[in-house]
Amino acid sequence: MQTIQYLTVTIDHVGRRLDNYLFSQLKGLPKSFLYRIIRSGAVRINKKRAKPDYRLRADDVIRVPPLRSTETVVPKSPNKKLTTLFQNAVIFEDKHLLVIDKPAGIAVHGGSGITLGVIEILRALHPYQKHLELVHRLDRDTSGCLLIAKKSSILRELHELLRQGAMQKTYLALVAGHWPKSLTTIDAPLYKNQLRSGERIVQVDACGKACITQFRPIQYFYNTTLVEIIPITGRTHQIRVHALYVKHPIIGDEKYGNTIVNQNMRNLGCKRLFLHASQLAFQLPSTKQSYTLQAKLSADLQRFLDELTRLSRTPPSAQEGAAHLPI
């Protein structure tokens, strides 16, 4: 695109975030470049600067600056392994939405050195679905239920449910130490900070945004606890930072976890972040249909729990090489 382009927002896209809308309209544009032109002010809405999370309104006019061909990339197609993986990952599908059990280790979006994310893979596998869009996000290393809308109108409805807190997300996590049964709610504001290295980190800070997470211990093991988690708000890294805040970091968390604990857990078989989006529950307003969608723990995480169960039942003197975790 060698000239300035003006995009007028139709009713189908009202309520969408600016960044998500432009991702869908400017196919093949690197994510990092798109955010750069938005934040620099080169992208304008009604002649004014706008942030990536700006919610579109009917008849908004979006100015997109000239883009050189070198600023676009040709989307790659998923290889056979990824194709099979994602075909087997489908939990539920109807004419409105698609739900997959997102594999750990795959980002939801391409960009920043990642050629193919979940949404790019799904679009390649479903070329006849022209409006596939992520409803929400999961961290790259988190597995489990991920919701994708097939229509712009459905995307708006689901985003509104998220804003109203009318969609319940449930997670399972293994945390270090024995989680107190009395600790059911963590209410601590979170603040995003950027380090000199460019890495973004989230921490509890009075200047941050309100953040509430509910926790319920399900099963105790030797120096670890399997907990069920319901985030009431939807902040970046909310579960991981709140767990760290009360000194029970999630096992396998390379960013917010305990290095020594993580190494001991790797020795026992946990090779990744033990955080899994186990359930989504909501009612779609337009159809009044209720959905309860579940994703079982992946085989590797279940095997690790089985190993912890075995160790928990074994007398300490008989635990050859069992890890003793510093908490």
Which are the catalytic amino acids? 139
φ/ψ of 224, rounded to 5, equals -145, 160
| Nearest CA-CA partner of 70 in 1, 3, 21 | 1
Q: What is the DSSP letter of 70?
A: G
Buried b or exposed e, range 176-196, using 16+ CB within 10 angstroms:
bbebeeeeeebebbbbeeeee
- Cα 31 from Cα 9, distance rounded (Å): 21
One-character DSSP codes across 275-324: EEEEEEEEEETTTTEEEEEE-PPPHHHHHHHHHHHHHHHS-GGG-TT---
One-character DSSP codes across 101-123: EEPTT--SS-BTTBS--HHHHHH
- Cα 327 from Cα 244, distance rounded (Å): 11
Half-sphere exposure of 296 (CA within 13 A, CB side): 5
Whether the Cβ atoms of residue 256 and residue 193 lie closer than 8 Å to each other: no
- Cα 8 from Cα 94, distance rounded (Å): 30
